[in-house]
Structure 1
Amino acid sequence: MSVRKLAVVVALSCAAAVAGMPAAAADPVAACASARVATALPAQTPLLDWSENVGYDGRGNLWVARIYRNEVQRYDNTGKLTATVPVAFPGAIRLGPDGLLYVVYGDAPSSAVIPGGVVRFDPDAADPRPEVFAAGFAMPNGAAFDAAGNLYVAVTGSGVVKVGRDGVVDQEWTARAAGLGANGIAVRGDTAYLTTNASPLGRVLSFPIDAPERRTVLADLSTGAGIPDFADDLHVDADGVLYVATLSGQLVRIDPASGEVCSVLNTEPMTAVVPVPGRTDELLAGTERGGILRIRLPH
């Protein structure tokens, strides 16, 4: 568990104790058809190489957020490191509608004092130079664009922040999306999907983009022992099925249409998942150890 996640879990546990809300065992997530996993990129220095998030640019290069190295790294399709960009405590990496890469920064408890935000840069440049796109967020982590080009940032300290294409925060919308524990966010059509780790840990919910206060709980995740699991980042596919990475190493599949919740993989602690370009059956996952996993989903 990282310093970032440990701080969140401890704080939430203390809050629950003060409120007189003991942690309760939950039903374990059921297993379903198993995914296959292999190493796509090994960790050069375990833990120091912690891969907090992963994303692709428009040319199919893979970008990895190395939170403890304070940089994001670019790899070509052979796995060769081709560029590094300095970003303080980087989180989500997302390709914007303008072809630029947007990277959350300040994904650490210190951003409550020195606020984080989002930088952007040209991923095709030989020496990419990040510029601040939006700032003032207390421990931002996840991010997702909608079809109109608005960016939604999951901020642990305040909920979800909506940023327009001009970098200006929509304060009215953001106030309606307030809430502690926000972690990962994904958008499909007019619906947003969010992982939260407030009370309880491991909650996955959805809400209409135009009504962020109308939240529906999709699942409360737990380990095989029935202990609440930490839900990290997530991906929603073209069919509306979610894949959630967890601290215990589960990859949880959630089908909002049918209500089915099951684990397709149990491996090392994962941080984020991203689809492989041109493939509907493959994901890449970041890990706390630092390696990148290639996951072949069951048919």
Structure 2
Amino acid sequence: MECRLTPSATVQFSVGSETVNQTAGTFSIPVTLTGAVTPSITSFASGFNDIRSEAFDATGNLYVADAGNNMVWKVTPIGVVSSVLNVGRPTGVAFDAAGNLYVSSEVLQRVLQITPGGQTNVYAEFVDNSGLLPINFSPFGPAVVDAAGYLYVAVVGNGAGAVYKVQPGGGASTRFAEPFFGATGLCSDAAGNLYVANSFDSFRGRVNKVTPGGVVSVFAEGFKYPGSLAFDAAGNLYVGATSAGTVSKVTPAGVISTFASGFNLPGALAVDAAGNIYVGDTISVGGKVGNQGTVRKVSISHVTVPFTLTGTAVSGTDYRGVTAGSLVFAPGQTTAYITGTLVSDPGFSKTITFTLGSPSGDTTLGSPAANTLTIIEPAKKAATSTTAVLKADGSLWQYTGGTGLQLLSPAGTILSTSAVTDAAGFTDVYAITADHHLWEHTVAGWAYLSAGSFLQLSAATNAVGNAVIFAVLTDNSLWENSSLFAGDHWRLLSPGGTILSISAVTDAAGNDDVYAVTADQNLWQHGPAGWALLSRGSFQQVSAGLNGAGQALVFAVLTDHSLWENNPAFASDHWRPLSPAGTILSVSAGGSDDVFAITSDHHLWEHTAAGWAFLSVGSFASLSGATNTAGQGDVFAVLTDTSFWEYDPAFPALWQDLVPSGVAAGSAARTR
């Protein structure tokens, strides 16, 4: 037998040249992979007779329903075959989330359940007056049973087919969807839709889609006796056409292509966790099957393409983070990126030419195979904002546009910092020293505020415009230091064991507000009237800011990495979702109703009243938002390579590289 494969893919740059402004901070050159990557086909296990169904357990063992041998077999990941159950013509196997194995038997006209402990039970029977027999079945969603415990079974009889729904625990069943022309293939997608192969439909060769509500529609057609189905993790459907001896791939959009061909009777399909496809291929001799059935493994390899760098740009002077190397396309991946960081070097524009080499396998090199990146390097404009810069060596610096860095405290002395600009326009920097004491730096120099075990700080100003500091201690108590308080100026806001993290802001009325994530991960706000509960939930990080009316608001990242905004200007409970779960790593408020966010891919975005705007690709590590002289949001950012950058809409090129390396964190000196 000769199994034939689909044509090879082509890899090339999207364009032959492009331009990037040096102050963008990073560059990302896309390389695309088009066409189908050639898979390899190997024999995984053999000696079967009439393979009807396949299913994987949670540990990667493949179970094979061998109707000709009246046996269910187990095949380990290395291809060792052993018997599991001797039963009359098994035609379907599948697992539920609890590890129970379900086996449909054409002879018994039953579905059997085998528990993880090895106990075999009769789960459902399918005998009625029309002689319906169970042929194949599949889980509803990612498991055999749905959330309510229902099992879905495809049944064929008298040239027509239906999908039955079996109640939790087995026993009674009801018709869920019909009619089908021989429902010998059944599988489900991640959304819980069922897909049915009409194996008796020789004219149209259809695969039907059945919604969770039982609505039937045509998903794809044109197959020669489609008999087996399986999904991969990317949502592609694979269809085994028994008459044509092919396995076709159907994308989520319904685009059909031949994935592999040359099989005899591809009557069963299964996909493992790595995306390999296992084809139950039975040989028919004189219209009869024999013990020559083989499970064939169809694998898609990674595609590797080397690239080199030439041009007038100098590594370390104009860019960093990329050298000659290779891009690797994982199975199913269509785009990869050559990325790097641009270094501040005002002067003439420079170029980098990236040239692709020969890709691996029989993937071909397309055109353009080279991309020339022109780096435009405009002259810098001095920054206008002031920020405290904590370096990785524990030294503390103050950065001011036009004057650069000024050392405030030497290496090994500082753990964390928070800065604010008071009403007089002076920058106050609060710092937790290596011995966990608290100090304040003003134009007069350093002043010792308190001994103790300080953990986290957030600075603001009070009603008379003087700087105040909110401090979380290592016992998770919260304190405030303000010139308006009598005595030593300290006041306890929340006792030990209650506070996880905080963020402070001063509203237009001069009130200092602090938002706090408490030990139970609820969110509270402390203002002139005291504490108020904003929301219960799994809060992780907060950043306080102001809305257009000068009222305090807060941006909150939950433990599911969704982003929410609490704003007095919003109706009802004042909450609004900004970004869904799994998208946000950290945030920092900027200008009016403005927040900067590091997304899960470490890129930087800004959300304003106009919505989301993409600022830069790159590996962003931490942020500190501020407001420029025009009232616009600007942000200081530490990248994972420890460089320190400022983004300001007032800059001609938007970005400036302030410190090339060695920065651990920054704290912008925000004004009210």
What is aligned with 1:162?
165
CA contact (8 A) 1:201 1:231 kept: no
Alignment pair present for 1:211 and 2:223: no
What is aligned with 1:285?
279
Q: Quick one: distance in 2 between partners of 1:184 and 1:204?
A: 9
Superposed CA offset, 1:83-109 (max 9, x none): 331121111211112311011110xxx
Match runs of 1:1-299 below 5 Å = 33=36, 34-43=38-47, 49-106=49-106, 116-122=109-115, 124-125=116-117, 128-137=118-127, 138-147=132-141, 148=146, 149-157=149-157, 158-171=161-174, 174=175, 176-188=177-189, 189-199=191-201, 200=203, 202-212=205-215, 214-221=216-223, 229-247=224-242, 248-257=244-253, 259-268=254-263, 269-276=265-272, 278-280=273-275, 282-289=276-283, 290-297=293-300, 299=332
Deviates more, 1:176-185 or 1:60-69: 176-185
CA contact (8 A) 2:64 2:73 kept: yes
Deviation at 1:195, TM superposition (A): 0.5
Q: Quick one: distance in 2 between partners of 1:117 and 1:279?
A: 32
CA contact (8 A) 2:164 2:177 kept: no
CA contact (8 A) 2:230 2:239 kept: yes
The structure in which a higher percent of residues are helix is 1
Q: Quick one: distance in 2 between partners of 1:246 and 1:291?
A: 16
4+ residue runs over 4 A deviation:
none
Superposed CA offset, 1:46-85 (max 9, x none): xx62322222223322211111111101222332233331
Amino acid at match of 1:271: G
Deviation at 1:203, TM superposition (A): 1.2
What is aligned with 2:369?
none
SS across alignment from 2:52: strand
Superposed CA offset, 1:104-133 (max 9, x none): 110xxxx6xxx62311113x55xx453211
Q: Quick one: distance in 1 between partners of 2:208 and 2:123?
A: 27
Structure 1 residues 70, 201: closer, same or farther in 2, change over 3 A?
Answer: farther
CA RMSD of aligned residues (A): 2.4
**Structure 2 length as normaliser, TM-score?**
0.34
Q: Quick one: distance in 2 between partners of 1:63 and 1:180?
A: 26
Q: Quick one: distance in 1 between partners of 2:271 and 2:193?
A: 19
Amino acid at match of 2:208: L
Superposed CA offset, 1:248-274 (max 9, x none): 2200111242x3111110022211111
Higher relative contact order (CA 8 A, sep 6+): 1
Structure 1 residues 275, 70: closer, same or farther in 2, change over 3 A?
Answer: same
Amino acid at match of 1:187: S
Deviation at 1:144, TM superposition (A): 1.2
What is aligned with 2:325?
none
Q: Quick one: distance in 2 between partners of 1:219 and 1:180?
A: 13
CA contact (8 A) 1:103 1:120 kept: yes
SS across alignment from 1:216: strand
Deviation at 1:169, TM superposition (A): 4.0
Q: Quick one: distance in 2 between partners of 1:152 and 1:87?
A: 21
Structure 1 residues 186, 37: closer, same or farther in 2, change over 3 A?
Answer: same
Q: Quick one: distance in 2 between partners of 1:186 and 1:220?
A: 19
Uncovered stretches (5+) of structure 1, i.e. residues with no partner: 1-29, 222-228
What is aligned with 1:5?
none
Superposed CA offset, 1:118-163 (max 9, x none): 11113x55xx453211112523222111242422111122411111
Uncovered stretches (5+) of structure 2, i.e. residues with no partner: 1-5, 8-34, 284-292, 301-330, 333-672
Q: Quick one: distance in 1 between partners of 2:179 and 2:105?
A: 20
Structure 1 residues 198, 80: closer, same or farther in 2, change over 3 A?
Answer: closer
CA contact (8 A) 1:51 1:286 kept: yes
Amino acid at match of 2:70: N
Q: Quick one: distance in 2 between partners of 1:41 and 1:175?
A: 35
Q: Quick one: distance in 2 between partners of 1:243 and 1:151?
A: 22
Deviation at 1:208, TM superposition (A): 0.9
CA contact (8 A) 1:40 1:292 kept: yes
Q: Quick one: distance in 1 between partners of 2:192 and 2:78?
A: 36
CA contact (8 A) 1:190 1:210 kept: no
**Structure 1 length as normaliser, TM-score?**
0.73
SS across alignment from 2:90: coil
Bigger-Rg structure (1/2): 2
SS across alignment from 2:112: strand
